[in-house]
Amino acid sequence: MLKFIRDILFKIKDAFVGHKFLCDSCMYDYGNACVRPERPNAIRCPDYKKR
């Protein structure tokens, strides 16, 4: 249930603020450090860590 509410809030935020890709400021965005398929355009990521 909490995930559902969180997803709805993210959709509302995206609609108003637009997308900002997490990878642009993620410390794993280099070389082969990250192999997630959503890279480099992740807008949500459980592995995100700010540089």
- Residues in contact with ligand SF4 by CB under 6 A are 22-23, 26, 28-29, 34, 36, 38-39, 42, 45, 47-48
Given the complex with ligand SF4, which of 19 and 29 has the nearer CB atom?
29
Given the complex with ligand SF4, which of 1 and 31 has the nearer CB atom?
31
Q: Token match 């070389």: residue?
A: 31
Given the complex with ligand SF4, which of 7 and 47 has the nearer CB atom?
47
Q: CA-CA distance, 28 to 3, in Å (whole number)?
A: 25
